[in-house]
Each structure stands twice: as structure tokens, then as C-alpha cells.
Structure 1
Amino acid sequence: MRSRNLVAIGATVLMTMALAACSKSSAGTQDAAITQAVENKLNADPSLQGDNIKASTENGVVTLTGSVSSNAARAAAAKDAQVQGVTEVSNEIATTTAVGNTPAASGNQPSTSRRRAASGSEPPAAPAAPAPPATVELSAGRVLAVRLGQPLSSKTAQAGQTWQGTVSAPVRMDGQVVVPQGAAVSGTIVAADSAGHFKGRSRLVLRLTELQFNGESYDLASRERVFQTTSRGNTTAQRVGIGAAIGGVIGAIAGGGKGAAIGAGAGAGTGTAVQAFTNAPEVNLAAETVLDFTLSAPVKVVPAAGN
């Protein structure tokens, strides 16, 4: 009885082992079929031509190895591996980049700047900033000859009014033209006084304030130029005296001593009346008049030849 049980147990074990072996053999055959199907699909995919991809299967799990040139190709390979019977895809494919874009692996690789220089794509260097132009100084006491651009009169001019002109002769230093002839200048009327009928004098005071040439403007400080007529009082006295003398002579001839006194008074009155209706002289400067102005402070300018 006991021996029969042992025989039955042994038979059961042998049968179980045989069934397991058959199952294992069947699974291996199925994995091989899956691997073959995956490889066929990978080889047929035009986007993977030339890529090195290998597939293996174990218990329905497909493992992909190798390398492709892009992430898109890697994703396409994983999709191709989804054939019938696959339970899972393990995508171990490496992605490589173009040689020119691969980062340097050692010190033998040329640096980025050297590669750019070799390929001719190095951006051009920024041009050096030009050196500032040299300047020269017109010292205080330097005389500028100025040609008026308009007529000026003490009768019509007003203090604070601006006048225009040009440099009438070039200014040279060490044989170099510093200020060219024709450079624009401007100035200010400091004072303008018109004489009265009986006494006083006409006066016009000018000052040079600005110089312009070659697109640059320079502030100037100059001594004042004063133009005035003779005193009106002296002329009044002279004319009244002459009128009185002439009147006295005429009165003496006409009526003796008493007539002389009367004639002198009348003559004086005549002289005064003539003076009252006589306009006083004015200061008049015609256009194109050349005036010299002396600088009262130094000024630095870029020489005309330097521009």
C-alpha cells in the first residue's frame, strides 16, 4: 500500500515537471516569434533606416537597445515594438547628436571661439572709437575781425538786441587755420542811446558773444566796443552864441546901442529855435563794416583744418 502511494506521488511530480517544461518551451517559442515580428517592423520603417536597433523578448517584455539619431526615431522604434503578444516595451535606445553639435569630450576638442573662427562665423570686432579731436586755445587778448551782417543805428537799436556777422579774416596759429574766414558770429547790443535836441550824445555799445563753424558753436567773451558822437551841449552853446552876435550887429546898424541889445536877444532866440529843430547826429554803422573785437577770456576750439 505504501509503495503504491510513493509511485503515485512520483508520477504526479514527473507529470508536473513535464507540463512546466512544455509551458517553458512554448513561452520561449512565443518570445522568439515576438522578437522576429518586432525586428521585421523595425527594418521596414523608413524613418529608422541606417539606425542600429536590436530587440529581445522575455516573457512578452520587449527590450530595445542600440542608438538612433533623434528622439523622434527613438519614439518611432518604441511604437514599432508594439506588436501582438507584447506586454511591455523597455526602450533603452540611446540618442546621438551630429558630430558638429557634440560637446567637446576632451581638451583636444577646439573651443567654441576657435570653431567659430575656423568656420568664418565669428562676429566682426566693433570698430575702435575715434579719438576726440584736438583743440587749440584762443587766448584772452586775441583780436577777431568781424564784418557786420546788417546796419546798426543808435536811433533804432535796442539794448539786448542780437546782431549777426562773419569773421572777415582767418585766424591762424603756427601756420594753421584755426578759425576760417566766413565763420558765423553773433553779438549783443549792450546799450543804444539816441541824442536829444539840446544836449547829450548818441551812443552804441556792442559785444561779441558767439562763434560758429564746422558744425560747432563756441561761447565768446569780448571787450565792449563803444561808438558815440560828440556832446550836443557844445553845439547848442555855439549856435546860440553865433545867433546872438549876428543879431547884435544887425540891431546896431538899425537903431544904435538900444537896437544892438534888441538885436542880440532876437539873434539868440533865432539860434535857439534853429537848434531846437535840428536833429542830433546818430551813430550809424553800415552793413559790411569791419570791426575788431578783443577776447576778454580764452576759448578752446577745434581747428578748422582739424575737421
Structure 2
Amino acid sequence: MVFVGLLFLVLTPCLYAEAYETCPLRNNDAQNRDMSFDKFSDHVLQGHGYSDFKGITRLKCAMKCLADTRCFSFQYTEADTGCVLNGASASRFPLSLTAANGTSYYGPEKTSFVWKLLQLASEYPGLPGMTDCTYPSPASAKSECLRFGQHLCDSSELQQAFDAGYYQVVSITNRFWYAVPSGSVIMGSRGLAYSEDLPSPVITTDDYPSTDRDAMTKACCALEAHPCTLAELKAAYLSGYRQTYDTPWLAFAVPGRDAKLFSDGCGTYSGAECYGGVVATTTRPLANLKMICCPFCRGLPGLCCPAG
């Protein structure tokens, strides 16, 4: 369906637009997904177009964006039926929104949100950008910032952004990675709430067939978590997380393997069966086992601040 200023598209199976590279975490819960693009007239996202087309309709332009895993937004010119696919959104690069008579930006943000974002960008050159992908850790979000010469915002930069009114263009429930290892922040209208420690891993109540990764992932998401990686299990151990003696071997993010954190790390396991010197892992999982899950369900976006 097409409405003035707004495109609604339904694709099967789900195609998720990702900026320039594959997002480490995506929504695997649904095979069908609704995607909408809001129109922001006479503006483009300058410097982030990577593919252009001529002589196609606005709807076909939107379909090309959804079918390309690098695309998060697009711009369309009615006069020459020109289409440009963008590898990012205005939320990611608010300082790149530029006036362009006759060309409209179409992105996942509501038009009122983009207006406010544009106003803030004109008043505050240090405005953060919210990553289009979600990440399992600050380190992985940091790498996304660095690819564009930016860095994860520190607490002083976040305070300046809050004072400038950035909280008005993020959800009050949104939590983000910032420049502290394992550190996350919630930005709301009343201020900033920091957490410098991740919640400990949790273990699913039920056992699942070791081959049913989808059921395990959904069980983790129900606990507001995702299947732990070996790196996350090592980080949890180094942060003080321990399993009891009777904790069974558990499934984690790697299919066909199990893992266990003994009080002394790998216990009697060594070599390829001892990750990082602290996580025991084997290729002999039981037919049915529980999953160990790490926060958060789909990771968190990072807040990237411009250099200087």
C-alpha cells in the first residue's frame, strides 16, 4: 500500500536493511515483517548514497532498498524519477541531513522525529548518531563508530547531548552502549541512568533439542537475552560469574558445542576444549540441553559521537 508521504511494505521472508556490512544481531523472531518509510521533503542524507537508479517509481525504489542488505533509507526525486539508496539512516548521521529542493528522504523515522533531529543538528554540532545495527557489546558497537571516524560517546558527551535536547529524539525506554566496557546508558527526559556492569548470564528453565536453535534463541529472548558467545562467557567469568557444581553442560551460540564454567575455569579441560583459559567447551553436547543466555535479546545500539 502507498500513502502520501508514507510507504508501507510487506515482504516475505523478512529482509532487514543493514548499513554497509552485515548487522551482528537482527530480528529472527518473525518470517514476515512490515516496513515503513516516512517522507521528509526537500532533504537528502548527504554522503551516504551507494547506488542510484533512474526511471523507476518511488515504490520500486523502496523495494530495492528493502531487497539490499546494505540499505537503511533512500532518497527519491519525482522530476527525473531518480532513486538513491543510502547505507545509513538520518538517526545514524543526523549531521548529514542536507537541504535538496525537489528530492525527498525516506527513512524509518517519523517525519516529526526528523524535523527535531534536523533542528538539534543545526544547534549542536556534537550531536550523537544512533547505530542502525544493534551489537552484543560496547566493543562491537565501538568498531562501527570507528569505521566512520567516530567514537562511542563518553559520559561528558552524553551529558552535553542531553542538555542540548537529544533525549527528545530517543525513546525513554532506549538503552545504548557508551564508552565504558560493559557500560550502558538509558537517556530519558529526567536525565541519564548509567550501568557499568552487564547483568549476569541466565540459563533457560527448559531443555531443548540441541539442533533446535530457533527454539533456544526464542527462549533466550523471553528472558531479555540472546545465546551467549564464548567471548561473552569469558567476560562473565572474569567479572565474577560462576556456575554451581551441579550446573549441567549448556548450549551456547555455537551449534554443535556445549560449554561449562567451573569454579576454576576450564577444570580438567585444556587445548581446544578450553576457551580463553576459563570456558570449558566440547563438541559432545547432549541431545537435549539448556541454553545459557547473555543480555540483551537483540543487543543494543551504540551512540557514536563525531571526532573533535
Is TM more than 0.5 here?
no
TM range (shorter): under 0.3
Normalising by structure 1, we get a TM-score of 0.19
More helix by share: 1
Larger radius of gyration: 1
Normalising by structure 2, we get a TM-score of 0.19
